[in-house]
Amino acid sequence: MPTPSASSTDAAKPAAASGGVQSLERAFDLLERMADAGGEVGLSELSVSSGLPLPTIHRLMRTLVVCGYVRQQPNRRYALGPRLIRLGESASRLLGTWARPYLARLVEETGETANMALLDGDEIVYVAQVPSKHSMRMFTEVGRRVLPHSTGVGKALLADVPPDQVRSLLARTGMPAATDKTITTPDGFLTALAEVRRLGYAVDDNEQEIGVRCLAVSVPDSPTAAAISISGPAGRVTEEATEKIVPVLKQVAAELSEALANSGSPAH
């Protein structure tokens, strides 16, 4: 997602300079600004942040409202509309499809089941998986939703989120214990996130399921918060194995990030 400064610069470009349709560029820029705001916004706020004149903002927003991508609230402010949900769900599935060749490489190089997960609201949703070739292997159904506090991908995705936002999320979801190893206090979870930042990867050590260890890293600069992971029996995903697996995880995450940024095309 572009930064505000980059977006406002792009919004002000004439169509000929970018080779695109100016009104489309501006409309998508406004949608991204609304997503960044996380709630309702007014026309004047959008005008200030984008650098566009109020009449232009009003015309674009009116079109987006008619199309269902934006809705106008009773207080005359604007929020993202329900038609974006379908687009988001389709895009999430597509992101999982793009990730599969990279997950397959993880399985090839580590021998363990590889997953991709996104942060969707307060929950983790698994969008892709390539299973291990071992007869004893981990299986997580694509589309499954879990709470982030007991998963490696959850820790990886929340590691760089401000602590007050993490506490708010945990207050909304609660912290039920999936096993006797599950972290069940906000302070304990924030300590775990600090360890993720220190190490550069996250660990689920028997916290979601006894006998299972998971190693996870976030995908840098992903269009939406995403993480990839491997999971396997604790007897195979040992401390010694971790030292070999983590560099592979990080390398694959970096390559997936580059592919998504450049073309969104799968690995060749």
For the beta carbon of residue 241, count every other beta carbon within 10 angstroms: 18
Instruction: Please return the burial class of 235, using the count of CB atoms within 10 Å of its CB with bins 0-12, 13-18 and 19+.
Output: exposed
pLDDT of residue 22 exceeding 80:
yes
Instruction: Please return the burial class of 224, using the count of CB atoms within 10 Å of its CB with bins 0-12, 13-18 and 19+.
Output: middle
pLDDT of residue 14 exceeding 60:
no
Where does the pLDDT of residue 9 fall: very low under 50, low under 70, confident under 90, or very high at 90 and above?
very low
Give dist(CA 38, CA 36) in Å, integer. Answer: 5
**List of E strands, the chain:** 70-72, 78-80, 113-120, 123-130, 145-146, 202-205, 212-218, 226-233
Domains and CATH numbers, the chain: 4-81 (1.10.10.10), 86-262 (3.30.450.40)
Give pLDDT tens digits for 211-268: 999 999 999 988 788 999 999 999 999 999 999 999 999 999 999 998 887 754 444 4
Q: Does the model's pTM come out above 0.75?
A: no
Q: Residue 200 contacts by C-beta under 8 Å, 6 or more apart in sequence?
A: 217, 246, 250
Average pLDDT over residues 180-188: 96
User: In this structure, which amino acid lies at residue 120?
Assistant: D
For every residue of 61-121, DSSP letters joined together read HHHHHHHTSEEE-TTS-EEE-THHHHHHHHHHHHHHHHHHHHHHHHHHHH-SEEEEEEEET
Give dist(CA 16, CA 184) in Å, integer. Answer: 55
Give pLDDT tens digits for 94-105: 777 888 899 999
Give dist(CA 69, CA 47) in Å, integer. Answer: 19
